[in-house]
């Protein structure tokens, strides 16, 4: 990950622990994706709740880097809306 945006020079990590807030977003995103995968598995296979959930988590694992980056982008948008970095 770049330290600064190559286009507008925005510093991504404004302070230590800056991306802690992104964890809340990635938690909600991740839970939603797992629930969606489990629902699709349930409709397609008719498996029980436990088997559906375990397979949904397994299928979700390769998506975690994407979810993490997407959550960080959403966090930066939220933070810049509330408290813009003018420096």
Contact footprint for Zn ion (CB under 5 A)? 5, 7-8, 10
Give residue for tokens 């980056």.
Answer: 69
Task: Give the N- to C-terminal CA distance of the chain in Å, as an integer.
Answer: 21
Shortest Å, Cβ 23 to Zn ion: 22
Which residue number, 54 or 73, has a Cβ lying nearer to Zn ion?
A: 73
Shortest Å, Cβ 1 to Zn ion: 13
Which residue number, 27 or 77, has a Cβ lying nearer to Zn ion?
A: 77
Give bridge partners of residue 11 from the DSSP assignment. Answer: 4
Shortest Å, Cβ 19 to Zn ion: 17
Shortest Å, Cβ 12 to Zn ion: 9
Which residue number, 8 or 44, has a Cβ lying nearer to Zn ion?
A: 8
Q: Which of 58, 72, 85 lies closest to 20, judged by CA?
A: 72
Contacts of 65 (CB under 8 A, 6+ apart): none
The Cβ-side half-sphere exposure at 26, using a 13 Å CA radius, reads 19
């Amino acid at each position: 990950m770049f330290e600064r945006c190559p286009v507008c020079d925005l510093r991504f990590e404004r302070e230590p622990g800056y991306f802690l807030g992104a964890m809340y977003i990635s938690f909600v995103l991740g839970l939603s994706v797992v629930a969606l995968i489990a629902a699709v598995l349930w409709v397609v296979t008719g498996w029980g709740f436990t088997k559906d959930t375990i397979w949904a988590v397994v299928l979700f694992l390769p998506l975690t880097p994407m979810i993490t980056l997407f959550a960080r982008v959403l966090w930066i948008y939220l933070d810049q809306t509330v408290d813009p970095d003018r420096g």
